[in-house]
Structures are given as structure tokens and as C-alpha cells.
Amino acid sequence: MTTKKQEGSGKITLDRKILSSIINLAAKEINGVESVTNSSRPWYKKMLNKYDDGVEIKFEKNGALTVDVFINIYVGFSVPDIAYRVQENVRNSLATMVALKPLKINIHVLNVECDKEVENA
């Protein structure tokens, strides 16, 4: 869980599932992303974390946030362009929805789906 102090006397607590959901939706919004997946993760890590959906969130000791997103893309799209757009959308979504600024956003392209070709937009 993540806790943020507000200017008043209260605090806001966020569950990792909420952050994971925001990141997952932000990645899927990008044209060319087929899916966010956990298919590359070892079976024992999938068993330990039921909510692992292709997003890995780490909080460093100094409070810095590191995000890893594992995606599949459609054939015909530029891998560096898709990765950059996913990074920017995740960064903007976290900043606007929960006022978090991640230190690193790592995008891992695992697969290129060839069965459905999508026109570049």
C-alpha cells in the first residue's frame, strides 16, 4: 500500500491493485497495444500474486516508484514508438489520477501479434 500525506491533517492510502489497474488501463489505451500480459513471469510468481496482470510496481526505500509493464503489440506498429507512448500515458495517468510521479517506467514488449493486422493511426 502507498500512503500520501495531504496538506491538511489527513492522508490518502492507495492499494497496489488500484495503481496496477490505472497502469493497465493507461497501457491499453494506446493504439497498437494488443494486451498487457504476465505470460513471461515464472509460474511461482503468478501463484504468489493473484493480481499480477502484467504490471509490476516497486517502491524503493527512498519512496521512489518504479513501474514495469509487460505488453504484446500488433504487427505493423513501431516498437519504440509504442513503448514511448505507453510510458507517457502511464506517467500522465498516474500524475493526474493519484498525483504520483514514477522514477522509472520500463516497458517490456514480449510478443508481436501477427494474426490480426491493424492499420497505423
68 Cβ contact list (under 8 Å, min separation 6) = 55, 56, 57, 58, 106, 108
Q: Residue 26's pLDDT is what?
A: 94
**Residue 69 domain-assigned?**
yes
**Residue 44 domain-assigned?**
yes
Q: Residue 32's pLDDT is what?
A: 92
**Residue 4 domain-assigned?**
no
Rounded to two decimals, the pTM is 0.78
**Residue 17 domain-assigned?**
yes
Q: pLDDT tens across 39-97, in order?
A: 666 555 655 655 567 888 888 888 789 999 999 999 999 999 999 999 999 999 999 99
**Residue 5 domain-assigned?**
no
77: domain CATH number is: 3.30.70.1350
Q: Which domain holds residue 41?
A: 13-113
Higher pLDDT among residues 12 and 69, named by residue: 69
**Residue 67 domain-assigned?**
yes
Q: For residues 9-16, give the mean pLDDT.
A: 78
Which of these ranges, 9-23, 46-60, 91-105, has the smallest mean pLDDT? 46-60
Total domain count, the chain = 1
Q: Residue 13's pLDDT is what?
A: 81
Q: Residue 69's pLDDT is what?
A: 93
**Residue 119 domain-assigned?**
no
**Residue 106 domain-assigned?**
yes
